[in-house]
Amino acid sequence: MTTLFEQAGGEFAVRLMMHDFVGRAFRDTMIGYLFRNADIDRVREMEYQFAAAHLGGEVSYRGRPLTEAHRSHRILDGQFARRLQLLRDVLTEHRCPPHVIDHWIRHTESLRSKVVALDVSCGVE
């Protein structure tokens, strides 16, 4: 049985999709500013490792835990949704199989609470 990683096209295809996705995120008018101090090549590598690992590739994610990596950023729900849409667009444009896209998007959505900042400044007293 093949893994989702293999069904997505293996290393070459997943690297290419993550290369395009990260480039698009860096240039995006809604979320691009969040990456102003980031190294695009490092982000591309971390996104590749993370994707390959959750798709069943023989790759280990060597980045920081998601909560720690995103703690200093005030990522809002709409920005998370924008990233998700960019990812869906890239996967679709690269003709990633629909069942792989569905898994990938569900997996990413399951991580929302680890990435999106809670706004405690709007609490009611």
Ordered per-residue pLDDT tens for the chain, 125 residues? 799 999 999 999 999 999 999 999 999 999 999 999 999 999 999 999 999 999 999 999 998 877 776 777 788 899 999 999 999 999 999 999 999 999 999 999 999 988 887 654 444 44
Max alpha carbon distance in the chain (Å)? 56
**Distance (Å, whole) CA 43 – CA 47:** 6
Q: What is the pTM of this model?
A: 0.88
The confidence score (pLDDT) of residue 122 equals 46
Overall CATH class of domain 4-114: mainly alpha
Cα–Cα distance, 45 to 50 (Å, whole number): 9
Supply the pLDDT for residue 51. 97
Q: At what angle do helices 77-93 and 98-109 cross, to 10 degrees?
A: 160
Domains in the chain: boundaries:
4-114
